[in-house]
Structure 1
Amino acid sequence: MNRFDVIIIGGSYAGLSAAMALGRSLRNVLVIDSGLPCNRFTPHSHNFITHDGAVPKDIADKARLQVLAYPTVEFFSGRAISACNGADGYQIQVEGGVSYMARKLVLATGVRDLLPDIPGFAESWGKTLIHCPYCHGYEFRGKKTGIMVNGEKTLHLASLVNNLTDNVTILTNGNADFSEEHRAKLVSRGISIEQEKVVSIEQVNGDIHGVTLTDGRSLEFEALYAAPSFEQHSGIYNDLGCELTESGHIKVDQFQQTPVSGVFACGDCAGMLRSVAYAVATGNIAGAMVNHQMVQEDF
């Protein structure tokens, strides 16, 4: 049985950030990664200082090289299958049947977007069909923009996008599900509201030209925002007895610790902000707090 001080499940930005903090503290660390980061569909990453406009994979590859330069950090390419709390710590089984043990765990497992079954959506996702005005909005400033959103998120997302362009249409993809007060606010800002369902997104190699609605009309757009639902990328959190928040994220405190002793979580599996900068920041906190906890136990 291979034993480590810490096992980190997820080797993208959050997991690698945690691994660096722990490697620099001379902790024996195993990073387990399946190689499916959530932002793998987007060509460029923005709003991360020193890496603005970089290819996401290039950021991760450079980070991995730097982290693995620390001799106490190891990397396993594969998927964690299950986890359990043993007498001497936590046991993680990976594909192939091998098991590893650790005193502490860091979950940096990410989330999986549940894309709607609309032709053209998946092909455009992360390119010109985007989720975050902070991550991608500047590149589409002033463009004719649609927002596929309904319910409580509508006013929040519309206000952020309207700050970047004054040519905005809300696509509720069905009957609008927000208050008359919100509707009046949107209309007062010159924002159109379209309630017909979207049957397809017209695009070429991910570049959006518009949408087709159920009544046969076509609306032209240069960019679309969407806020699809998501699920946890891994069920490991459930094996360990971790809780989810109402929004579907792993519940953590300000130090990234879950209610399960010795288990931490970071990145977008544990928080609503989905950016490289946020993942790196929370990973750094998690790594530092794991080391702090071990120091307090051992000193």
Structure 2
Amino acid sequence: MIYDCTIIGGGPAGLNAALVLGRARRSVALIDNNQPRNAVTHASHGFLTRDGVTPTEFRRIAYNEVLHYPTVEHRPAKVTDIRKLHDGFQIITDSGETIESRKLLMATGLKEVFPAIPGLAEMYGKSLFHCPYCDGWELRDQPLIVLSDNPKVFHMAKLLYNWSRDLVICTNGRSVLTDKQKQVLDSRNIIETEQTIAAFHGSEGKLRQVEFTDGSRINRTGGFVTPQWLPQAVFREGLGYETTELDGIRTDEMGKSTVPGLFAAGEAASGAPSQLIVAAAAGSMAAAGINAELMEEDFA
């Protein structure tokens, strides 16, 4: 069987694309290895009618809705290779299965790489987060730490000031703030330090103290960390698609890449983290683009 479309990735972008294509009566193979990036998150926010939903519950509801459509099939596997064919794609999984389809949608998302700081992994998703729009409300008015060696930390500090006025900005050994930016932070009583963090201390995922390498400690109950973002899956060498400055797959507004028949949606296209609702919307747009392309080919 040759599917109309194979979707790689079972996050909000891939699942919403599968929903739209299923409703369009397109045959879809949805490949998902069940390793979502937000698995450690206690709840997801900002998605109307699903505010506060856990990632597990979101996926359960989504799969129940998507697989209601008989032309959508779920393949719980990991993709190991993709080959471009003359009129489509051949996808090979770690189970040894080979799937062929006319179109391919990459919705594989991103993976996070954090500094190797003791305590960080245990608290990430419970009291340390990366997205203020996702978790700022839950940490409102608390004493917060912001850990980032990215120049965009100044923007993060200004953004978080709306949720908490008790902020400590740590650039972890790097000098990334300008003198003018430091003056702006000082004028708002936002503390900034270039000290290196030695450890996060707390229990059951709840932050209590931040320890620096000079032995000093400060009391904090939560905070935000900027990780390094990398593509969850990379098939650029085999497929030859162009990428953005953030290593996302370059697409147009409908998710179409520079490779005929290849589409991308969500974080796989943007190269940056996004909220559930934004990724889902991108998946819906890409599905519409895929269906339109299939339609034109069928009528050609």
User: What TM-score, normalized by structure 2, do the two folds share?
Assistant: 0.96
Q: Once the two structures are aligned, what percentage of the paired residues are identical?
A: 35
- Worse overlay, 168-177 or 248-257: 248-257
Supply the distance in 2 between the matched residues of 1:237 and 1:105 (Cα, whole angstroms). Answer: 14
Partner of residue 208, structure 1: 207
Please give the secondary structure, in 2, of the residue aligned with 1:40.
Answer: helix
Partner of residue 286, structure 2: 286
Partner of residue 254, structure 1: 253
Supply the distance in 2 between the matched residues of 1:185 and 1:254 (Cα, whole angstroms). Answer: 37
Kindly indicate whether residue 131 of structure 2 is the aligned counterpart of residue 132 of structure 1: yes
Q: Deviations over 1:216-245 (max 9, x none)?
A: 001111111011102111123442112221
Partner of residue 36, structure 2: 37
- Worse overlay, 233-242 or 122-131: 233-242
Supply the distance in 2 between the matched residues of 1:190 and 1:268 (Cα, whole angstroms). Answer: 35
The aligned runs of 1:57-96 (5 Å cut-off) are: 57-96=56-95
Please give the secondary structure, in 2, of the residue aligned with 1:224.
Answer: strand
Which segments of 5 or more consecutive residues in structure 1 lack a partner in the other structure?
none
Supply the RMSD in Å over aligned alpha carbons. Answer: 1.2
Supply the distance in 1 between the matched residues of 2:115 and 2:24 (Cα, whole angstroms). Answer: 44
Is the 1:151–1:176 Cα contact (8 Å) retained in structure 2?
no
Which segments of 5 or more consecutive residues in structure 2 lack a partner in the other structure?
none
Partner of residue 225, structure 2: 226
Supply the distance in 2 between the matched residues of 1:101 and 1:274 (Cα, whole angstroms). Answer: 30
> 1:128 is matched by which residue type in structure 2?
S
Q: Deviations over 1:150-196 (max 9, x none)?
A: 33211111111011110001011103212222222221221101111
Is the 1:81–1:236 Cα contact (8 Å) retained in structure 2?
no
> 2:207 is matched by which residue type in structure 1?
I
Is the 2:110–2:273 Cα contact (8 Å) retained in structure 1?
no
Supply the distance in 2 between the matched residues of 1:239 and 1:221 (Cα, whole angstroms). Answer: 47
Partner of residue 143, structure 2: 144
Shift of 1:280: 0.7
> 2:64 is matched by which residue type in structure 1?
L
Supply the distance in 2 between the matched residues of 1:238 and 1:161 (Cα, whole angstroms). Answer: 39
> 1:293 is matched by which residue type in structure 2?
E
- Worse overlay, 181-190 or 78-87: 181-190
- Where do 4+ consecutive residues of structure 1 move more than 4 Å? none
> 2:43 is matched by which residue type in structure 1?
H
Is the 2:31–2:77 Cα contact (8 Å) retained in structure 1?
yes
Change (3 A) 1:47 1:131: same
Supply the distance in 2 between the matched residues of 1:224 and 1:177 (Cα, whole angstroms). Answer: 19
Supply the distance in 1 between the matched residues of 2:163 and 2:291 (Cα, whole angstroms). Answer: 42
How many residue pairs get aligned? The number is 298
Shift of 1:15: 0.5
